Structures are given as structure tokens and as C-alpha cells.
Amino acid sequence: MPNTQTSTPVAVPAVSPRLLATAAGVTGVMLLLAYLVAFDQGGLSQSGMYLHELMHDGRHLLGVPCH
């Protein structure tokens, strides 16, 4: 008995440019926050150590060493 099944193409919905822009913006903000909380010990943190002290408790809460 021959196989008479045919495959039906499935339409893949296109991703809208607005969704891509929103996802890129959210990703950028999250990367900036991760940098500020975990890695900033350079020029930004030298202005009176304000940024370091502001993020100090957050670093310890996340388990990131800052000393």
C-alpha cells in the first residue's frame, strides 16, 4: 500500500520590529545593570565611591565579592 500522506506547510509567524526593539532595549538595560552591580570598579566608581556604596548590599546579596 503506497504512502499517500502529504505534509502541510506550517506558517511561521514573523517577529515584528517593535518586539525586536523592545527585546533589545530590555537586554541592554539588564546588561547595564549587571555591569553596574557586579563589575564597576573603574572610573564610574571613583566619584566618591558613591556607586560602589550604592550597590554594596546588592553585591553581597547576589554573592558577588566586592572587597
- The pLDDT tens digits of the residues spanning 7-61 come to 888 877 788 999 999 999 999 999 988 777 776 665 555 555 666 677 777 777 7
| Cα distances (Å, whole numbers) of residue 2 to 7, 8, 9, 14 | 15, 18, 21, 36
**Largest Cα–Cα distance of the chain, in whole Å?**
82
Residue 29 lies in a domain: no
Residue 48 lies in a domain: yes
Query: DSSP code of 10?
Result: -
What is the count of structural domains for the chain? 1
Q: What is the pLDDT of residue 51?
A: 67
40 CB-side CA count, 13 A: 22
- The residue type of 59 is R
Residue 64 lies in a domain: yes
Residue 61 lies in a domain: yes
Instruction: With 0.75 as the threshold, say if the pTM is over it.
Output: no
Question: The domain containing residue 60 runs over which residues?
Answer: 40-67
